[in-house]
Structure 1
Amino acid sequence: MKTNVLVVGDSNVGAIKAGFERVLSNEHKADRLCVKYLACAGPNFGKLDISGSLLTFPEEVSNHIWFSWGAAPGPNILDFDVIIFASGKSVLDPRNFICGKWLNNLSYELISDIVRSVPSSVILFSKILACCDERELIFVGAPPLCEQQSPFLNGGVKGCEKEYLNVLSQEIRSFVQLSNGEKSFKTLLPPKDVLSDDGMHTRLEMVRAGLRFDGRTERKPEDPDYGDLTHGNVAYGESIVRSLLSIIDKPLSSPAAANFAHGK
């Protein structure tokens, strides 16, 4: 029996889509997973809503939304076993923990409060969580701030040395690992291979030529947005997907199997 997966989010869906396509085709896992995508580009993502268990959107955003199953009504959350949420900051993004020009003196309690608050600050995520029932909900978010664009490095923030960021990243990972076994959803942190040496910034080569919201086209040097370093590329997406598979590519009870409507 296949595990039915929905990836929902903004333009950050593109890299995850490309990652799934590469991994599933190379490792012959497509017979065990059926992955669908819903992406809404830019600020229009904030206009998505949920009614009962149906994802809804106003007519005005129809030109900015993309379904992997073609033009259709919004999906029913209950048709899926796993929902992956790709919008909002990554929990590991340094902007969650560093304010202004000074590095906060962060206690473990404050770190835990920040980690909990990042997913819940995205309104649609909270609404999906409320209706998820026994479905697996995984918060991914966007790539953390790229090292080349960070104001926190090279003396930009007092006390923001690489050693401190490494310690902070380990504390964040420790808390997330502990809390993933206790709360009603899981948080996926970016794997270490996509991050810089400080453990909290995305490596340049993982966001250069980042993917658009549906994952179909890479940015090219002649594109006006080629220098945008906020979206993961294929390599970033593949690394994220391999981490996701450690959670979802396992025997699951399939609450959605009886009424899955968008692919078998």
Structure 2
Amino acid sequence: MLAVAALVAVVAVLWWLSSSWRDAVGGRAAGLLPGVRAPLLLIAHPDDECMFFAPTILGVLQGQRPLSVLCCSAGNYYNQGETRKKELIQSCAALGIAPSNVTLIDHRELPDSPTVKWDERLLSSLVLDHIQEKNIDLVITFDEGGVSGHPNHISLYRAVRSLHISRKLPKGCRVLLLESVNVVRKYLSILDLPLSLLCSRRDVLFISSGRQYTQAKKAMRHHQSQLLWFRHIYLFFSRYMMINTLTFLQDKKAEKEN
């Protein structure tokens, strides 16, 4: 009983601290993104935006930056593509992103699949076309771990890394990668805050307030086709619903990995 009470107390204190850090880090993050006018969130499936990137989305929008979303598949693994397209629009709206700023690619060679690695050349070409069309100057996407190890997530990283290495991105366009953490940290919820502050290799940190966390859960509820029992557990325990640590893709790192 005492252990439970202590845990509740710790969570309460961390939640309070997270709100304080959110305000402080929000300003610091803005300072790390000088001159960014047109950021792009690059995701693989409808629901990636709120399951993994909600703190980043809400933090960027709080900085009064217009955010675009490019989703590279309709999420048609279970033949629910048309439904999931509509759910993506509704979820983004709940997060504060206008439907006109949401683009979805539904290409037969980019199937929603937990076993398929997308064609890097095709994906790079499609992403680059969108970046150039929208004058994007910051791309936010998954890192090499893809958060969950999903090959579609990792394909996005590899495509953007390829553009970065080959110097095909527009001048001044940077890439910001969402840090993948181990499975224990992934499900620590707000309890991961000390580790995020002390252990993460980060350039930017976004921490959601209680209100923002509620907003992220509301967005996820628009993905009714995906709300199986285990995703309800994810909404409660995942640190990605409240904490995002991100790093810039660096030239030396990219060249080494290539």
Q: TM-score range by the shorter chain?
A: 0.3 to 0.5
TM superposition score normalised by structure 2: 0.38
